[in-house]
Amino acid sequence: MDNKYVNMAHKVLDSTNNDFVKENISKLYSKDDEKQQIRNEAQATRRKVVGDKLFVRGSLEYSNYCSNSCAFCGMAGNNISLSRYELSFDEVKQAVNQLIKYDVHQLHIVTGENWEMKIQKMCDVVKYAVSRGLGVTLVLGELKEEEYEQLYSAGANRYILKFETSNPENYSICKSGKNLYERVANLFLLRDIGFKIGTGVISGLPRTTDKDLMQDLLVLKRIQPDMASVSIFSPNEKSRYADQIPGDIQKTLNFVSLMRRHLLKTKIITCSSSFGSGMQVEALNAGANLMS
């Protein structure tokens, strides 16, 4: 990784703003009138930034092979009980054609972070989707620079790489020793290649505090991604965090509103599936504007 991008990652991660943290941390627990005021402000900001449009994308889980062993994820490579798969090209074509039938114009392709993935196969998938008139967003994890470039040349125009938590120590713990600075550096590399970038965090991730979550917001504000999201931690029974306490839905909804208020260059804030179908409407009311 070019030191330029690593230095950029240090710049956004290594300093805090105590006034920003103090000003916003109490809003995580807003209720009733105060909560409604925050929601109203978030909706007004969304209206100003992007209008009252709901964006819809089709999510294709292309493969669940993963080389990582993240503590919070049931797809972790060390989960030997999980049945692994990778879609065939014919299965991808069927899914793409189904999206077109339903008049959905954005394809969101998700895989585990598989170091053995054949990048040309994914390029062929991207080319087919683009040839059918779809925009393509990729969620493939960290790749080599030349692989990002191949995917961009194939026609993918958006790339999502969540950093999960801005706490470097906790990131290393839950991601089995991986480096947070390198993760964030990849976002700046992707942007320079030409991708619109997306990133996000997990609310309620074990060992994180409310102060960490406000630092997450501050880091998001410094990155100003094109797309942002927050997921609610949910303990997967096959993960190392199986016995941990789930994240708080209301606090996470308040965080959605805070993202919308502070990420003024971010057009898309995702209504995460982690909210569940019943609460996704609440996430939209909190300031989100995209569903998968």
Distances (CA, A) of 193 to 39, 122, 148, 157, 227: 35, 18, 8, 10, 17
* List of E strands, the chain: 55-56, 58-63, 106-111, 135-139, 158-160, 196-203, 227-232, 268-269, 290-291
Element (H, E) at 164: none
pLDDT (mean) for 177-195? 97
pLDDT at 36 over 80: yes
- pLDDT confidence of residue 277: 79
Residue 6 above 80 pLDDT?
yes
The average pLDDT across 67-82 equals: 92
Band of residue 171 on the pLDDT scale cut at 50, 70, 90: very high
User: Is residue 272 a contact partner of residue 164, using CB atoms and an 8 Å limit?
Assistant: no
User: Do residues 190 and 197 touch, judged by C-beta distance below 8 A?
Assistant: yes
CA distance 288 to 43: 9
Summarised one tens digit per residue, pLDDT across range 89-124 is: 999 999 999 999 999 999 999 999 998 899 999 999
The torsion angles phi and psi of 86, rounded to 5 degrees, stand at -145, 130
Whole-angstrom distance, CA of residue 231 vs CA of residue 233 = 6
pLDDT digits (tens, 9 = 90+) for 215-271: 999 999 999 999 999 999 999 998 999 999 999 999 999 999 999 999 999 999 999
Q: Is 90 exceeded by the pLDDT of residue 12?
A: yes
Q: What is the pLDDT of residues 42-74, one digit of tens each?
A: 999 999 999 988 999 999 999 999 999 999 999
pLDDT at 32: 82
Q: How many CB atoms lie within 10 A of CB 273?
A: 13
pLDDT band at 1 (very low <50, low <70, confident <90, very high): confident
Taking the C-alpha atoms of residue 56 and residue 271, their distance in angstroms, rounded to an integer, is 10
pLDDT digits (tens, 9 = 90+) for 135-160: 999 999 999 999 999 999 999 999 99
Other CB atoms within 10 A of residue 51 CB: 9
Q: What is the mean pLDDT of residues 165-177?
A: 95
Q: How far apart are CA 252 and CA 256, in angstroms?
A: 6
Burial (0-12, 13-18, 19+ Cβ within 10 Å), 218:
buried
